[in-house]
Amino acid sequence: MDRVHNFSAGPATLPLEVLKKAKSEFTEYQEMGRSVMEISHRSAEYTEIDHQAKSRLRDLLNLGTDFEIMFLQGGASSQFMMVPFNFLRDDQTADYIDTGRWSKKAIREAKIFGNVHRPFSSRESGYDSVPTDDELNLSEDPAYVHYTSNNTVAGTQFADEPETNGVPLVCDASSDFLAKPIDVSKYGLIYAGAQKNVGPAGVTIVIVRKDFLEQAITEDVPTILQYQTHAEKIFNTPPTYNVYMVNLVLEWIEEQGGLSYFEKFNKEKATLVYDEIDADDFYRGAVDKDSRSLMNATFRLPTEQLEQKFLGEAAEHNLLALKGHRSVGGIRASMYNACPRESVETLIQFMRDFRKNNG
């Protein structure tokens, strides 16, 4: 099989082992004579898939029994609306740390439901950094503090959870979910579109702490949009095949060594790329060094013409999806859990050759 080096920001590379297993089970799952896509979400077989996926998430994140896990639809963008709909009243304020395109969109949705305070924003500098705890100016009594842990467009990432002095964190973790261990005790809610690190597009993972869930608003919130509707049960038909794929990816993560393994692995890959960027001034990192993402390395070349040439020649070497987001341009190499070291090493060699030939 001739696999390319895929640096797509999402939908992103999936583990080859997972794809092969899914292929072997595509037309018939567990001698049922049917695909997973063809069985009822109320069947014993799908119930077991759902149970396995949630159990693996509990183990990987050390969630214990304090959290509810939900597999929803609508992507992380639907959570921009659903979070404040459930947890922000008219007379309350929520703090939204503004570090990129997706936090900006989340802020816009939250303003529909209540007051929004920005304790930090890097918008004026092109979203080139994330704050230190000393730079956060939290409001007096926020309902929650929302942040985007990794910013795919700009290429920045929080190294640790922001300090909120006990206020529940709500996190859009879409692009670094399960890429490293986290301190779950600080979170009220975590949501993530699966299509970066955990599976194919079409399923959104939502994890809510039970005592935070008890505070959720239910009055005047449509049934389908209440988190409590989805707690401890499958309310409506979930994206069954996508959850099946998520379960396979979670199994693969366990087999590789869990989140501590991927934290080390992802740091090693990112270090290779950033060391090459910093070797001289031909390549230029797009964000502050202290805020650099392990998932999405963003950089520029001396001219836009050279960037286009870089992308064209990279594609000839089967190095694909390296174009930066349309809103910022440049180059972006996305290196999620399933991105193999071989792909990164091939990119590094290409970067060296391109510099030599065009510097």
For residue 201, the domain's CATH number is 3.40.640.10
Report the number of distinct structural domains present in the chain.
Answer: 2
Asked if residue 2 is part of any domain, the answer here is no
**Pick from 256, 271, 300: which residue ends a domain?**
256
- Is the confidence at residue 318, as pLDDT, over 80? yes
Whose structure tokens read 């070349």? 301
For residue 283, the domain's CATH number is 3.90.1150.10
**Pick from 212, 230, 256: which residue ends a domain?**
256
**Pick from 197, 221, 256: which residue ends a domain?**
256
Residues 278 and 245 in one domain: no
Can you give the pLDDT at residue 312? 98
- Is the confidence at residue 356, as pLDDT, over 80? yes
- Is the confidence at residue 1, as pLDDT, over 80? no
Asked if residue 349 is part of any domain, the answer here is yes
- Mean of pLDDT values over 240-247: 97
Which candidate, 283, 275, 347, places its Cα nearest to that of 313?
347
- Mean of pLDDT values over 68-73: 97
- Mean of pLDDT values over 140-158: 97
Residues 292 and 165 in one domain: no
Is residue 252 annotated as involved in ligand binding?
no
pLDDT in tens, 273-292: 999 999 999 999 999 999 99
User: In whole angstroms, what is the distance from residue 194 CA to residue 11 CA?
Assistant: 9
State how far the alpha carbon of 225 is from the alpha carbons of 8, 74, 217, 335, in Å: 31, 11, 11, 33
Which candidate, 25, 24, 26, 3, places its Cα nearest to that of 15?
3
- Is the confidence at residue 52, as pLDDT, over 70? yes
pTM of the predicted structure, to 2 decimals: 0.96
Residues 154 and 238 in one domain: yes
User: In whole angstroms, what is the distance from residue 346 CA to residue 332 CA?
Assistant: 15
pLDDT in tens, 249-273: 999 999 999 999 999 999 999 999 9
AA identity, residue 102: W
Can you give the pLDDT at residue 2? 84
Is residue 185 annotated as involved in ligand binding?
no
Is residue 115 annotated as involved in ligand binding?
no
State how far the alpha carbon of 242 is from the alpha carbons of 6, 47, 204, 347, 355, in Å: 20, 14, 10, 30, 41
Residues 152 and 262 in one domain: no
Residues 228 and 130 in one domain: yes
- Is the confidence at residue 96, as pLDDT, over 90? yes
* 85 CB burial (10 A radius; 0-12, 13-18, 19+): buried
Is residue 101 annotated as involved in ligand binding?
no
Asked if residue 1 is part of any domain, the answer here is no
Determine whether 133 is an active site residue.
no
Residues 214 and 277 in one domain: no
Asked if residue 56 is part of any domain, the answer here is yes
Residues 245 and 276 in one domain: no
Residues 202 and 348 in one domain: no
Is residue 102 annotated as involved in ligand binding?
yes
Asked if residue 312 is part of any domain, the answer here is yes
Can you give the pLDDT at residue 228? 96
Query: Choosing from 102, 128, 180, 269, which is the catalytic residue?
Result: 102
- Mean of pLDDT values over 57-75: 96
Asked if residue 206 is part of any domain, the answer here is yes
Is residue 89 annotated as involved in ligand binding?
no
State how far the alpha carbon of 70 is from the alpha carbons of 54, 182, 192, 202, 218, in Å: 8, 19, 11, 13, 17
C-beta neighbour count of 121 within 10 angstroms: 16
User: In whole angstroms, what is the distance from residue 66 CA to residue 190 CA?
Assistant: 13
Residues 208 and 277 in one domain: no
Is residue 192 annotated as involved in ligand binding?
no
Query: Choosing from 50, 98, 128, 172, which is the catalytic residue?
Result: 172
User: In whole angstroms, what is the distance from residue 346 CA to residue 309 CA?
Assistant: 17
pLDDT in tens, 196-241: 999 999 999 999 999 999 999 999 999 999 999 999 899 999 999 9
Determine whether 172 is an active site residue.
yes
- Mean of pLDDT values over 4-15: 96
Residues 85 and 195 in one domain: yes
Mean pLDDT of all residues belonging to the chain: 96
Asked if residue 44 is part of any domain, the answer here is yes
Residues 96 and 119 in one domain: yes
- Mean of pLDDT values over 102-106: 97
State what percent of residues in the chain have pLDDT above 90. 98
- Mean of pLDDT values over 165-184: 96
- Is the confidence at residue 112, as pLDDT, over 80? yes
Query: Choosing from 180, 186, 196, 269, which is the catalytic residue?
Result: 196
Residues 173 and 214 in one domain: yes
Q: Which domain holds residue 75?
A: 16-256
Is residue 92 annotated as involved in ligand binding?
no
